[in-house]
Structure 1
Amino acid sequence: MKSKAVFKTYNQDQLSLLPPSYDELVPKNHPVRIVNHIIDNVDISTLESTYKGGGTSSYHPRMLLKVIVYAYLRNLYSSRKIEQALYENIHFMWLSGQSKPDHNTINDFRGKRLQGHLKKIFHQVVLLLSEQGVLSLKDIFVDGTKIEANANRYTFVWGKSIKTSKERIKKQLKELWYYVEKVYKEEQHIPNTPDFQALDADKIEATINQINEALQGKEIDKKVKQKLSYAKRNWPKNMAKYQQQEAILKQRNSYSKTDTDATFMRMKDDYMQNGQLKPAYNVQASTNNQYLTNYTLAQTTADTTTLKDHINNRIENYKQKPETLTADAGYGSEENYTDLEDKEITAYVKYNYFHKEQQDKKKGKSNPFHPDELYYNQQTDTYYCPMGQAMTYIGSYQKKTKNGFSQELHRYQAQNCDGCPLRSLCHKSKHNRIIERNYNLIRLKSKARKLLLSQQGIAKRKQRCWDVEAVFGNIKQNMNFKRFMLRGIGKVNVEIGLVAMAHNLKKYSLTL
């Protein structure tokens, strides 16, 4: 005989003697309690001071901050979804004290109120975590990752295209003036030649007017007349547009029209796996024990030029410098090595070809024609090529990088390469071989190599892989944060700060 199934009591109309407290429904070590406790212990007085007195009451900024940070911890980034959670999710109801700000209030607080304030709050949280002993501010691991901007991928403006268009207008203006000179070639009086250098919208308009005046009363070719008419209607306004675009670009090579602060960058994790260019921001991060200790945003694609500003920002916020810094070869430049040396920070930073150099050394490979392999007589300041010919010093010069960093390069030239049996292997120049040596960079690379190959350096390099890169993996894969919700570098700075704080608090909650 089949036994009768027994079900637990289910009665939606059953009343409780006393209504349950939300506090009873939130587990003791739940992440929402961690967020609540940490945010309660940070100073937000500067944020509170931005609220004006009078009028209707405002939602408390501490409550809004708790709600948004916890939302990011739960992978909720849309202000509408956060609003929905405040009505439906017990944890959000408990955290907000049953306050129910709408999505406009949430978005306004996140995008406007937190600008200029969140970074200070983030660093207070990091200091609290440091006091708990879960991270150290003495040793940092630095790397960068590109996160897609909230911008249309096809509304792009390219610096090279602007330059080409400006040069085309300049060339066509000159051609029109050559036509004027051709018309006046048989006359003694030739109008004064306009200035074609540093053309702007006003100068172009003045030049076109000058050409029209010069051709007034003359028999003009029909095509030239049409071109002048087109030029007067379009070229001044086009040049004004190009000037405005260049002001937005500054030192960048591109930007998106829907987020002018975003630069087009080649993304590694492209959906089509073909490395498409997309509007993005270059996020620079410092980590320790997989906790984010600092973040900055860069609008350039290369990591090399971002390290100096990133370290300065870190020192400014913590009022102290780290003792050691570990980074990959993307940061190994003379400027970065010099800056870290000046700041007395022990730098475990690889340079280009460091790994290849070590692999070739293990395999016993060497290139006898490489400048580093040539014999150098320090007393006579002379290099010797593989054939034993002296390469004497012929002078030095200063070279500036895009960042304005000055480099000193020394040049040495062989006396006679004609008839040398090794010439085809040695160099491809039609003249005698010249080599350039940057002695400061050589010294800095030697210092970096010594640190990288030390026992501590090897340990640091191994740790970097699972420290900072694991943080990016968590943000992009586990938190599913691959594209910013907000536009403009100010708002994006707030958003990456919220992501960083959520990452830290979620990791901290797992240790309790």
Structure 2
Amino acid sequence: MKLVPQKSHFKAYHQNQMILFPPSLSDFISSEHPVRTISSIIDGVQIDRILEKYSYTGAKAYHPKMMLKLLVYSYLCNVYSSRKIEQAASENVHFMWLSGMQKPDHNTIARFRSSRLKGVLKEVFSQVVLLLVDSGHIDLQTIYVDGTKIEANANKFSFVWGKAIQKNIQRMKDRLGELWDYTEQVAKSDLANVSKPDLSDVDPEKIEQTIETINEALRDKKVDAKKRRQLNYAKKNYADNLRKNEQKLKILEERNSYSKTDPDATFMRMKDDYMQNGQLKPGYNLQFSTQNQFIVNYSNHNNPTDTKTFIPHMKEVQQLYPDKLNSVCADSGYGSEENYEFLEAEGLTSFVKYNYFHKEQKKGAKTYCEFHPNNLFYDSKQDIYYCPMGQVMNLKKIKKEKSQAGHFKTIHVYQAQNCNGCPLRGMCHKAKGNRTIQINHRLNELRSKAREHLTSEEGLKHRSQRPVDVEAAFGNLKHNKGFKRFLLRGKEKVEIEMGLLALAINLKKMNSRKVA
């Protein structure tokens, strides 16, 4: 039986079809696409500080606005590699439209990102935020602050620890002191007119001079072989080792650690621990200020605690947007005396929690403790406390303490008169002698004001809004954009990378809300 072929039922397909009038690249991009928003917004920003970095002699460079558009759109598309951006500029119609069919190579893209944008991208970012204010997306009256850790582009085994450096320096001092004591025993007459050097504060020159003195005294003496080896080792290495350690301490500044492959990164504990073993990794403490889920400021810090990052971050906000801000909302990681005083001095309403704020709200629950110093009755006129048994606790002394951030606080110490035989002693305290409490009245005063703001109707609104506002920005960054590790090294370059991400997130959100 002969089969009769059926007629094809397909659309016409002519791969090499000639086009009389070639189409424009713009015809392939919808009017609502975010690439159009990026192009129009960046066309409207001032880039004078970027232009200052260019020379008007030699070969012509690619236009900085075109390069900036390419970078922002690539970060919006989760494309972070300069080589992949180069490839997209030759293959992707959106990149080709942004670049006007120009094809910068990966070296040009990387150089523009690392050098041309250094120290100036924050100005471009703030202009975009002010455009969001003008368009009614945000008003900058209240901002929400929080932080997260982002892993650095550094080897996690290339650590340098501050305590280890101090131990090495102290070990050198001790060994040098032992050598001097041994020399005094063996060649006491040669050191009769030489006083023992002060080794509590040494420098390389003092070490070299001390070792030379010891070496001269022991030159013709019969010396123990072990001591001779120690002396030879000290002569060859101690001065150089001290110079290296001093250089490491200079890099550390006030930190406890840094990475050899990225000295600006500090070893921190990450919540997103893919190793699932809680080990420290080199990273940066990223701080976001948001409103209506738009990022209004970003800053990277090499300090792992949020407490110390708050004031530098807020000063930057005030510098970028003067006379705009009225109030700040943050979680308990920022509730320190120094931060409260800063907000009070700047005239900003504080919706910042302190560490046991939630426990106070559950007075009837098991978390509430009537023996806690802040829950004891205080007579401000007589400046005395009363313990749960009604015994007077008199002021014993007033002392000053310096916090890790360098802030001085005043501590009042109160002590009970007689705790012997008290039936509540086991629950009240377990220390020997009478109970002693330490009270920071200034911090309690600031916490009282913060409590009043937090429990008000406006405070309840901001407390419920904070998690869905700033946490959403971190979720967008880490999960939607898949950005959990920096590609660049060094604090300045990391700041650029985060600026491009913040611009991309804001412009994409602006585009989606405009379309909606």
TM superposition score normalised by structure 2: 0.96
What is the distance in 1 between the residues matched to 2:451 and 2:6? 77
Per the alignment, residue 427 of structure 1 pairs with 429
Query: Which structure 1 residue ranges, 5 or more long, are not aligned?
Result: none
For 1:303, the aligned partner's letter is D
182-191 vs 39-48, which moves further: 182-191
Give yes or no for the alignment of 1:324 onto 2:327: yes
- Alignment partners' CA distance in 1, 2:350 and 2:288: 16
1:9 is matched with: 12
Superposed counterparts of 1:90-489, under 5 Å: 90-184=93-187, 189=192, 191-359=194-362, 361-363=363-365, 366-489=368-491
Q: State the 1:366 CA deviation.
A: 4.2
In the alignment, is the contact (CA less than 8 A) between 1:269 and 1:275 conserved in 2? no
Separation in structure 2 between the aligned mates of residue 424 and residue 212 of structure 1, nearest angstrom: 63
CA distance in 2, matches of 1:370, 1:13: 83
Is 2:190–2:217's contact at 8 Å kept on the other side of the alignment? no
Give the deviation of 1:2 after TM superposition: 9.4
Q: Which amino acid aligns with 1:286?
A: S
Q: Secondary structure at the match of 2:289?
A: strand
Which letter does structure 2 place at the counterpart of 1:316?
Q
1:394-447 deviation per Cα after TM superposition (whole angstroms, max 9, x unaligned): 221221212221211111122233343433332233232221111111111111
- Which residue type is aligned with residue 430 of structure 1? K
* Pairing 1:71–2:78 present: no
Give a deviation string over 1:65-88, Cα, whole Å, max 9, x none: 011101101111000000000000
- Counterpart CA distance in 1 for 2:64 and 2:439 is 58
Q: Note the C-alpha offset of 1:213.
A: 1.8
- State the shift of 1:172 in Å: 1.0
Pick closer, same or farther for the CA change 1:423–1:363 going to 2, 3 Å. Answer: closer
Q: Structure 1: how far apart are the matches of 2:190 and 2:70?
A: 81
Q: Report if aligned partners of 1:180, 1:215 keep a CA contact under 8 Å in 2.
A: yes
Query: 3-state DSSP class of the match of 2:361?
Result: helix
Residue identity opposite 2:382 in structure 1: T
- Separation in 2, partners of 1:80, 1:380: 72
- Percent of pairs identical after alignment? 52
CA distance in 2 between counterparts of 1:274 and 1:465 reads 27
- Post-superposition Cα deviations, 1:231-267, rounded to whole Å, max 9, x if no partner, equal 1111111111100100000011111111111111111
Q: SS at the partner of 2:80?
A: coil
Residue 188 (structure 1) shift = 9.6
* Contact 1:208 1:232 (8 Å CA) reproduced: yes
Shift of 1:184: 4.6
Following the alignment from structure 1 to structure 2, what is the Cα–Cα distance between the partners of residues 394 and 292? 49
Q: Indicate conservation of the 8 Å contact 1:142/1:287, yes or no.
A: yes
CA RMSD of aligned residues (A): 1.7
Count of matched residue positions in the alignment of Structure 1 and Structure 2: 511
Q: Which residue of 2 aligns with 1:502?
A: 504
Structure 2 counterpart of 1:427, one-letter code: H
Aligned to 1:58: 61
Do 1:191 and 1:214's aligned partners in 2 also have CA atoms closer than 8 Å? no
Counterpart-to-counterpart distance in 2, 1:364 and 1:264: 36
Q: Measure, in 1, the Cα distance between the counterparts of 2:250 and 2:153.
A: 22
Q: Say which is worse superposed, 276-285 or 196-205, in terms of deviation.
A: 196-205
C-alpha separation in 2, matches of 1:135 and 1:275 = 38
Normalising by the residue count of structure 1, what TM-score does the alignment of the two structures yield? Answer: 0.96
CA distance in 1: counterparts of 2:189 and 2:51, whole angstroms = 78
Other structure's SS at 1:75 match = coil
How far apart are the structure 1 equivalents of 2:188 and 2:80?
70
Q: Distance in 2 between matches of 1:510 and 1:281?
A: 30
Q: Do the aligned partners of residues 289 and 122 (structure 1) sit closer, same or farther apart at CA in structure 2, a change above 3 Å counting?
A: same
Contact 1:111–1:494 (Cα < 8 Å) also in 2: yes
- State the AA in 1 paired with 2:296: T
- Distance in 2, Cα, partners of 1:160 & 1:321: 43
| 1:363 counterpart SS class | coil
Secondary structure of the corresponding residue to residue 133 of structure 1: coil
CA distance in 2, matches of 1:379, 1:87: 78
Q: Measure, in 2, the Cα distance between the counterparts of 1:260 and 1:498.
A: 22
Give how far 1:388 is off: 2.7
Q: Which amino acid aligns with 1:438?
A: N
Aligned to 1:260, what secondary structure does the other structure show? coil
The answer to whether structure 1 residue 27 and structure 2 residue 30 are counterparts is yes
